[in-house]
Structure 1
Amino acid sequence: MKLTNVKIPDLKIPLFEATPGQFWCILGRNRSGIDTFFNLLSPGHWKIQDAEIRLPKDMGIFSFAGQQAVFEQELKNDDTDFMDRLDPGTSARAFIHDPDQHADMIRAFAMDHVLDQGYRQLSTGQTRKLLLLSRISSGSRWLLIQSPFDGLDKAGCSQLDLALDHCRSCGMGILVFVYDPGDIPLSATHIAVIENGTMTRSGSRQEILPRLFDLQGQANFSANVTDLKLAETAFSKGVASGETPHSKELIRLEDGHAGYSGKSVFSHLNLCMSPGDHTLVSGPNGCGKSTLLQVITGDHPACYRNRLWLFGTRRGTGESIWELKKRMGIVSTELHRNYRVSGSVLDCVLSGLYDSIGLYRRPGPEDKKKALAWLERISLSDKAEFAFRTLSYADQRLALIARALIKLPGLLVLDEPTHGLDRTNRNAVLDFLSQVAAEKLSTILYVSHREDEFRDFFVSHIRMENEPPSGIKGFCQPHGQ
């Protein structure tokens, strides 16, 4: 692989060369040009005058867009409407070419115990590992991987790092693209840095790592306190007559349980949240963190089989889920995958006021002003009229966070919301959530496996575990214990 004299609007690369057996880590902030470089390496996509671009033909590419394409194909094949149960999707085994031949690699990825599960039964981290296994088992001698560690717990990151190092030792060439210096794989042999649209340095790990500059900068998502107070007033006026956001419990789940196709994902879980009880949920991949949130938001049928109350109302008693969702703001990988409609970035943020995927009402001038203020806050105001689907994955995720926060809901449900964000944007989101918590504007239910996201404003911490044969007990305790 060799690139020479690359000059395009978002990226300049004087020289980049990688050979089989090398493990390159490409590091850059969101909007630095790193995503342009990733796309540049997709064979057949670019012809640049005066540039030399030599790419291997046997490239296995893993990207956010590719993962989305698999998800959309699974939706097309969903037969749930014709079955008496949820269609689990294509079996994990079917994604891997000759599973028996690749048994050692499957075990290295800790995926041997889920091969007979359906794609839609897997956690986000497990689907990422499965698609990587699919690329490796197809015979690719080069791997091009976008943000490989997003969605993986600490053990999963270590397993993946070791598995990729094993691939390198077998003579494969590997390029991983990360947005945070903390995500540089331990087994990477080489590092290249992209800043402000230019590859500023590249070389061996020993050469680059000691001189690695701080890429993080100073992003700022903090809202003006006056803006927050005005939003709080607007929210309070929208609450049902005679009720305040602090008058009832937000969530009560007693002996909670959920699963798929007769297999339990979690059980014996108790959760109670009142206004101000900001709660962190953590645990390994596959333990049911996202499933728990789906039960709470009404996106899993187990919500009707549980003793579950939302905003004081028992689920399954004739209540409208849409009335309940008016009081929630939600960011999740599932929402991101389902947000497939056409429409602008501004439309996306505005749709949060109506709890819709896409914008189907004509917003008033005040609503537009509020949405534009949020886009300014996340540094996307210049892309307000861009099509949402044309943004990078990271910018799409920021827009969805603004969509959730625009109405400052009583309950803010965030399922690993910082996927694809660099450290600056991740910290800026968390700093803003700290301010939301301090101003008592929303109560936060937050899923994460990243220890650098465990902030002091969390009051309680639910630590979930993978379900053993005897059943598990997810438990809630004061944060920090």
Structure 2
Amino acid sequence: MKHIAIYCSNTIDKKQLIQQIEKNFLSPFICKLTELQGEVYSSITIDKFINEAYKHDKIFISTDSDTTFEEMSSGQQRIALAKFIFKQNPDYVIIDDICSNVDKQTLSMVYKLFEEYLNTCLYIQIFSRINDILPYVSQVIEIDNVMGISNVFTQHEFLLKHTLTDVSKKNEYTVSHLLSEVPYFDPLVTMQNVTVAYRTKPVLHKVKWTIKAGEFWELRGPIGSGKSTLLSMIIGDNPKAYGQDMHLFGRKKESGESVWEIKKHIGYFYPKMMQLFNRETSIENMIISGFYDSIGLYIKPLDWQRKVAKEWMENLGIDYNKKNFHELSPGQQRIILIIRAIVKQPPLIILDEPTVGLDDYNISLFVSIINAIAQTKKIAIIFVSHRKEVGLQADYLFELQPTEYGSISKITKLLT
């Protein structure tokens, strides 16, 4: 069975591309798919099942414990979807962005599921990051931004052409002039022996963490290790923070601070944020809304805010000069929402899985911007991801390591 892959930028509309593939877009290279039974392994399919469950009040995919699709972690969703797909005995599977938003253990399980059917099922992979290509793909088709076929390679030829270099050298950004008035606290966050459990399930055990001004941290841990719990306690959204030995931005937790007093010092990006912004708005206004932490912009922006937003847009380049946020690809929208988190110049930014869905070019852009911010030593950064991004120059690694008592913390100073 000769498997095929499509390499594209994240300016491509994935839904439209998948529809075109199903309508024999690749007929010069493979058999006619309209005559075969196919399935789609994608976050698009996951969202579809969740929406269908809402509409029909019915569980379409579940685990042995009857957990709904929406209640599952991202890793559980991926595994459940793969198992469901192969129960349908498909002739082909379109595999979209297989490496996104899963830890190494989950990805290994997904790989094994697909390898079981290598000889009986045709795989058509869609990918935007060179390192994500599946090893058993024999042919790679590159498509342009209007879904025209630009090149066809064997996998060996493709990898020779696209040998990855240090992405940190591809773009050079200076952002110090955009970060002139960052509030100063030192330390920003301290946690001493933080222990959390939900009912009888231990999550965190005696976690210690001190984040100082201007430090750059990577936060890692397997799915279910407590990363989201830890972040929500810093942000002020988790009542489990009460009763803990924590200081946030110069104040002890439970000293009369409001949630909004905490949030004004934090810029935050998280994956589900993408679903909140469904109204038509300009890229400029989307960035400006970060000054107010609002979902949309409801007051007239000040002249200096417009000036700052335009300077950020100029830094991003011509690809981001379109008038409307929704004219951007999902990957480009992520970049804008990351800038939105930074624009108010908070002393701490938290970036939770910010690189999911980005292609190689926008990863390079992201890495360059974050490294430039880190080099100013004005803003502390917490970067959360299941994958190591080449060229990202963090100072420290904070790992959550699961035990029977809950996850414990391990801190490593990184060599940059």
- What interval of TM-score do these two structures reach, taking the shorter chain for normalisation? 0.7 to 0.9
Q: Deviations over 1:118-163 (max 9, x none)?
A: 6555443333333343444445443223211011223333332222
- 2:189 aligns to what? 251
Question: Does the C-alpha gap of structure 1 residues 70 and 336 become closer, same or farther in structure 2, counting only changes over 3 Å?
Answer: farther
How many residue pairs match? The answer is 408
1:415 aligns with 2:352: yes
- 1:190 aligns to what? 139
- 1:381 aligns to what? 320
Residue 66 (structure 1) shift = 4.1
Q: Determine helix, strand or coil for the equivalent of 2:102.
A: coil
Decide whether the 8 Å contact of 1:126 with 1:286 is kept in 2: no
- 2:370 aligns to what? 433
- 2:6 aligns to what? 26
Identity of aligned residues (%): 24
Decide whether the 8 Å contact of 2:325 with 2:333 is kept in 1: no
Distance 2:286 2:169 in 1: 22
Distance 1:175 1:58 in 2: 13
Unaligned runs of 5+ in 1: 1-20, 47-51, 79-89, 100-111, 240-244
Residue 250 (structure 1) shift = 0.8
Decide whether the 8 Å contact of 2:215 with 2:377 is kept in 1: no
Decide whether the 8 Å contact of 1:25 with 1:190 is kept in 2: yes
- 2:238 corresponds, among 300, 314, 318, to 300
Q: Determine helix, strand or coil for the equivalent of 1:451.
A: coil
Decide whether the 8 Å contact of 1:221 with 1:378 is kept in 2: no
Equivalent AA in structure 1 for residue 398 of structure 2:
I
Equivalent AA in structure 2 for residue 354 of structure 1:
Y
1:55 aligns with 2:34: yes
Residue 454 (structure 1) shift = 6.9
Write the mapping of 1:58-77 to structure 2, written as runs, cut at 5 A.
Answer: 58-69=37-48
Question: Does the C-alpha gap of structure 1 residues 394 and 39 become closer, same or farther in structure 2, counting only changes over 3 Å?
Answer: farther
Equivalent AA in structure 2 for residue 256 of structure 1:
V
Question: Does the C-alpha gap of structure 1 residues 128 and 116 become closer, same or farther in structure 2, counting only changes over 3 Å?
Answer: same
Distance 1:311 1:287 in 2: 25
Distance 1:329 1:362 in 2: 21
Q: Deviations over 1:345-398 (max 9, x none)?
A: 333222111111222222123222322332333344332x3243x532211211
1:463 aligns with 2:399: yes
Equivalent AA in structure 2 for residue 436 of structure 1:
I
Residue 431 (structure 1) shift = 1.9
Distance 2:223 2:331 in 1: 22
- 1:359 aligns to what? 297
- 1:336 aligns to what? 274
Q: Deviations over 1:282-324 (max 9, x none)?
A: 1223322233222221233323353322102233333221222
Decide whether the 8 Å contact of 2:36 with 2:91 is kept in 1: no
Write the mapping of 1:64-463 to structure 2, written as runs, cut at 5 A.
Answer: 64-69=43-48, 94-96=59-61, 115=65, 119=69, 122-169=72-119, 171-195=120-144, 197=146, 198-202=148-152, 204-205=154-155, 208-209=157-158, 211-213=160-162, 222-224=172-174, 228-229=176-177, 231-233=178-180, 235-236=181-182, 239=183, 245=184, 247-260=185-198, 262-379=200-317, 380-383=319-322, 385-388=323-326, 391-453=328-390, 455-456=392-393, 458-463=394-399
Residue 405 (structure 1) shift = 1.7
Distance 1:451 1:34 in 2: 24
Question: Does the C-alpha gap of structure 1 residues 435 and 415 become closer, same or farther in structure 2, counting only changes over 3 Å?
Answer: same
Q: Deviations over 1:193-228 (max 9, x none)?
A: 22454323335535x445434599999764445xx3
User: Structure 1-normalised TM-score?
Assistant: 0.73
Distance 1:357 1:68 in 2: 21
Report 1 or 2 for greater relative contact order, CA contacts < 8 Å, sequence distance ≥ 6.
Answer: 2
Decide whether the 8 Å contact of 2:144 with 2:150 is kept in 1: yes
User: Structure 2-normalised TM-score?
Assistant: 0.84
